[in-house]
Amino acid sequence: MTAFQYSSQIRGSVLDAIGNTPVVQLGRLFGGHDVVAKLEFMNPGGSIKDRMVRYMLRHRPEGVTHVVESSSGNTGAALAMAAAVQGLRCDVTVPDRTSPEKIKRIEAYGATVHVCDASLPEAHADSYQSLATRIAAEQGALHLDQYRSGLNRNAHYTDTAPEMWFQLDGRIDYFVCGIGSGGTISGVGRFLKDRNPNIIVIGVEPPHSAYREAVTGEADEGEFRTALEGVGKRKVAASFDASVVDDVIRVNDDDALSYLHRLAREEGILAGGSSGCVTAGIAQLLPRITGRVVTIFPDSGANYLSRHF
């Protein structure tokens, strides 16, 4: 008979419900291999970005009443949720490739969304990154700036990684993680290597993204383009710490989406495109490695029903 554990604890707000996400074995997809995924889409805001936003707002200067961020969608939703709880005004800038579901989620929390041309380089005055900086400067708001802030990776060093380490009793041989802003792989990777330098940290990204060159030194002149959200960048984000990453492998969109669908149909896990990308990356690795592979599924496929399913 199964024993169930119940908790009578009442949370002070939805922000106190962030964390304690489950880890599950991917035994149907990778039978015969020890592959474990931490389901970060089970945070109340629907993604791992809840942790980062909560941490960054805890470290904000006193007197802040208005927050701004550029985001592919998940950070924007997490910030909008937190702003609603804390009574803050919130503006989010997103590229026009952001899914309609993510935009509606951000707006549902009461935030203002500014949709920008995704083809513009970051330095362009009208890019989604530049617009966030300009709104913050003109309106006296706090710009979280996840792509440059060290608080991004610190959030995962102090929160995500210790939780995962405890859940798995430190039994981790490989940590495989998609790279977007670089905060998750940098913070979790640093924590793991501080505990056990033999753990191998491997990043996953789409073709022609900037991170493989940053880690391996292999030049890549190709044009970065992907249908996936939240994974890969044209240029390396300042929040990325290449020193903790042992290798970066690449996965094309077709393979990522194929594994995304397999996760839903074989494991019952409705995850986002970046999870399909990292799962396809693990499939590349398994024939040549042994030991436990741990990954993180950052967000839910519910954000992409109109695009990927």
Residues 161, 258 within the same domain:
yes
Q: Check if the beta carbon of residue 236 is closer than 8 Å to that of residue 243.
A: no
Residues 161 and 280 in one domain: yes
Which residues, 6+ apart, have CB-to-CB distance to 139 below 8 Å?
66, 68, 91
What's the one-letter identity of residue 268?
A: G
Q: Which of 122, 143, 164 is the last residue of a domain?
A: 143
* Residue 214 backbone dihedrals phi, psi, to 5 degrees: -65, -30
Output the DSSP codes for 134-193: HHHHHHT-EE--TTT-HHHHHHIIIIIHHHHHHHTTT--SEEEEE-SSSHHHHHHHHHHH
The answer to whether the CB of 284 falls within 8 A of the CB of 249 is: yes
Structural contact between residues 277 and 228, judged by C-beta atoms closer than 8 angstroms:
yes
Q: What is the per-residue pLDDT for 1?
A: 41
Which residues lie closer than 8 Å to 14 by C-beta, 6 or more apart?
A: 44, 45, 81, 85
Domain that holds residue 133: 63-143
> Is residue 127 a part of any domain in this protein?
yes
In sequence order, the 6+-apart residues with CB closer than 8 A to the CB of 156 are 51, 52, 183, 184, 186, 187, 188, 191
Tell me the pairing of strands 23-25 and 35-39: antiparallel
Same domain for 218 and 77, yes or no, is no
Q: Which of 49, 102, 193, 233 is an active site residue?
A: 49
Q: What is the pLDDT along the chain (309 residues), one digit of tens a residue?
A: 455 556 668 899 999 999 999 999 999 999 999 999 999 999 999 999 999 999 999 999 999 999 999 998 899 999 999 999 999 999 999 999 899 999 999 999 999 999 999 999 889 999 999 999 999 999 999 999 999 999 999 999 999 999 999 999 999 999 999 999 999 999 999 999 999 999 999 999 999 999 999 999 998 888 899 999 889 999 999 999 999 999 999 999 999 999 999 999 999 999 999 999 999 999 999 999 999 999 999 999 999 998 899
Count up the domains in the chain and report the number.
2
Q: In whole angstroms, give the CA distance from residue 231 to residue 292.
A: 23
CATH of the domain at 70: 3.40.50.1100
Q: Which residue has the tokens 């039978």?
A: 31
Instruction: Give the HSE-up count for residue 109: Cα atoms under 13 Å, Cβ half-sphere.
Output: 31
| 52 is a domain residue | no
What is the per-residue pLDDT for 9? 83
As a whole number of angstroms, the distance between CA 138 and CA 95 comes to 21
Question: Does residue 27 form part of some domain?
Answer: yes
Domain boundary among 113, 143, 173: 143
Is 235 catalytic? The answer is no
- 90: in domain: yes
In a domain, 157, yes or no: yes
- Same domain flag for 85 and 110: yes
Place of tokens 């199964």: 2
